[in-house]
């Protein structure tokens, strides 16, 4: 994935071929296609696993947890699975997405999928649909804001993602309370 993202930044998404990605990654084209149906799918690699981690954290939140506390549990669970490679990928991925409308659309669809997973997990907990949808959207926003700060900030290797996403959620909760 790093090879593809670097190529997208260097020469643009449209100009980058699967053959170039495979060569940079040190694999064959057939190996590439065993993992990804096309180069567009590189951006959403790991989305299903991330959605599952977010939903599992929400599902396993203590009984009686508020919707936002359940989202916090989901964020903590998913964030704890992110490591140094995810952190290094952040700024590169942001730069690559900025170069292509198609990648921006893919990124937006990824956010929709993450929100849908959190919303469904909240509804399964008995949270009414509008509340679950709002909490899911805030969860995605908190994840994205926390991930951006974590990946673009100081490089302490022991610094995990979870405190960043949970702090972003706290800030968003305070901001939403001020909406009136």
Write the DSSP string, 48-105: HHHHHHHHHHHHTSPTT--HHHHHHHHHHHHHHT--HHHHHHHHHHHHHHHT-HHHHH
- Torsion sign (Cα): 142, 3, 42, 59: negative
Q: Per residue of the chain (180 residues), what is the pLDDT tens digit?
A: 778 888 888 888 888 888 898 898 889 888 888 888 888 777 767 788 899 999 999 999 999 999 999 999 999 999 999 988 888 888 888 888 888 888 889 889 889 999 999 999 999 999 999 999 999 999 999 999 999 999 987 767 678 999 999 999 999 999 998 987
All structural domains of the chain, each given as residue ranges with its CATH number in brackets, are 1-42 (1.10.10.60), 44-177 (1.10.357.10)
The CA distance from 89 to 105, in Å, is: 19
pTM score: 0.84
Contacts (Cβ under 8 Å, ≥6 apart) of 158: none
Report d(CA 134, CA 120) in Å as an integer: 12
């Amino acid at each position: 994935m790093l090879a593809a993202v670097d190529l997208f930044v260097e020469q643009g998404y449209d100009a980058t071929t699967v053959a170039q990605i495979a060569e940079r990654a040190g694999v064959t084209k057939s190996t590439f296609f065993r993992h990804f149906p096309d180069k567009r799918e590189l951006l959403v690699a790991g989305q299903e696993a991330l959605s599952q981690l977010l939903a599992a954290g929400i599902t396993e939140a203590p009984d009686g947890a508020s919707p936002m506390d359940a989202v916090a549990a989901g964020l903590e669970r998913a964030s704890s699975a992110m490591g140094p490679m995810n952190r290094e990928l952040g700024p590169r991925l942001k730069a690559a997405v900025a170069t292509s409308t198609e990648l921006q659309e893919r990124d937006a669809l990824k956010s929709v999928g993450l929100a849908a997973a959190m919303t469904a997990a909240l509804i399964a907990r008995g949270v009414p649909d509008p509340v679950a949808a709002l909490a899911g959207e805030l969860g995605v926003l908190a994840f994205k804001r926390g991930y951006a700060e974590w990946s673009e900030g100081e490089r302490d290797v022991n610094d995990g993602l979870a405190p960043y996403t949970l702090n972003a959620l706290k800030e968003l909760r305070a901001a939403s309370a001020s909406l009136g």
